[in-house]
């Protein structure tokens, strides 16, 4: 195409181009992205949209060799698109203008295509340690030592001295019903000699939060000697 040459992409009546803007159109020339604007200039293609036609004019500083491939995309994801006709049939789109070549192509509008897709369900569960002074459960503050993903180092416990350690449990999923995280203890806290600290309170393992109470200290019931 010579300098000043143009070509039109002509859509038949029924295709609605009224929402299109130049920013919704892109073009590559010989594999490289072309610059588009309302008026042709040096290094810039002129583009106009009128009625059923989209017209392209070559840059003012050079034409295009006849062997050059032009790829035009009309309508951008997140932008404006051409609205298809409602009638289901085939339509002829014509390319013509002051360039030497012209041609036609056809598109078929149909309404009986069933589109399906599956997305694999994912679930990612991560256990992370927390640092001393971290806020957990909205109000508690971790004390004494940092934790890791595999250890809560309470160290030596003293009667009447509170220690708070925590781990951060993170879950991400696209499952439609979400997720539930359950934390279970599989044994009592034990010393190297097998002495244990029983669950609160007095080994009864309350499942609902209740105010702290001291162990009942019954000499005949080992479960009451500490919790």
Q: Examine the fold and report which residue of 108, 131, 146 is the final residue of a domain before the chain moves on.
A: 108
Domain check: are 142 and 59 in the same one?
no
pLDDT at 93: 95
Q: Examine the fold and report which residue of 48, 76, 108 is the final residue of a domain before the chain moves on.
A: 108
Mean pLDDT of 124-133: 94
Domain check: are 137 and 92 in the same one?
no
pLDDT band for position 195 (50/70/90)? confident
Domain check: are 194 and 171 in the same one?
no
Helical (H) or strand (E) element with 53: strand 53-57
Q: Is the pTM of this model over 0.75?
A: no
pLDDT at 123: 94
pLDDT of residue 3 exceeding 80, the answer is: no
- Given 3-state DSSP classes, what are the helix, strand and coil percentages for the chain, each rounded to the nearest 5? 5, 30, 65
pLDDT band for position 1 (50/70/90)? low
196 is in which domain, residue-wise? 186-227
Neighbours of 52 (CB within 10 A): 17
- 147 occurs within a structural domain: yes
Q: Choose from 89-93, 110-114, 142-146, 204-208 the range with maximum mean pLDDT.
A: 89-93
pLDDT at 125: 95
Domain check: are 87 and 178 in the same one?
no
Mean pLDDT of 138-162: 87
Choose between 56 and 210: higher pLDDT.
56
Mean pLDDT of 36-57: 94
- 113 occurs within a structural domain: no
Q: Give the whole-angstrom CA distance, residue 70 versus residue 28.
A: 6
Q: Which of 94, 99, 9 is nearest to 49 (CA)?
A: 9
- 166 occurs within a structural domain: yes
CB 70 within 8 A of CB 7: no
- The owner of tokens 């003293």 is 158
Mean of all residue pLDDT scores within the chain: 89
Map residue 54 onto helix, strand or coil. strand
pLDDT tens, position by position, 12-40: 999 999 999 999 999 999 999 999 999 99
pLDDT at 194: 80
Domain check: are 36 and 97 in the same one?
yes
pLDDT at 150: 94
């Amino acid at each position: 195409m010579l300098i000043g040459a143009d070509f039109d992409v002509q859509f038949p009546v029924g295709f609605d181009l009224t929402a299109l803007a130049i920013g919704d159109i892109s073009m590559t020339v010989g594999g490289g992205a072309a610059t588009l604007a309302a008026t042709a200039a040096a290094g810039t293609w002129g583009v106009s949209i009128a009625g059923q036609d989209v017209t392209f004019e070559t840059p003012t500083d050079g034409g295009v060799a006849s062997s050059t491939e032009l790829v035009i995309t009309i309508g951008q994801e997140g932008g404006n698109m051409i609205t298809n006709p409602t009638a289901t049939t085939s339509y002829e789109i014509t390319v013509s203008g002051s360039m030497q070549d012209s041609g036609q192509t056809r598109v078929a509008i149909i309404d009986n295509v069933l589109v399906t897709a599956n997305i694999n369900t994912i679930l990612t569960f991560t256990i992370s340690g927390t640092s001393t002074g971290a806020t957990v459960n909205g109000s508690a503050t971790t004390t004494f030592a940092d934790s890791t993903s595999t250890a809560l180092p309470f160290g030596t416990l003293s009667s009447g001295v509170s220690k708070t350690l925590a781990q951060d449990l993170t879950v991400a999923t696209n499952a439609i019903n979400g997720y539930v995280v359950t934390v279970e203890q599989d044994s009592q806290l034990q010393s190297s000699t097998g002495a244990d600290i029983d669950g609160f309170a007095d080994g009864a393992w309350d499942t609902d939060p209740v105010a702290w109470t001291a162990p009942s200290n019954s000499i005949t019931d080992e479960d009451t000697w500490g919790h």
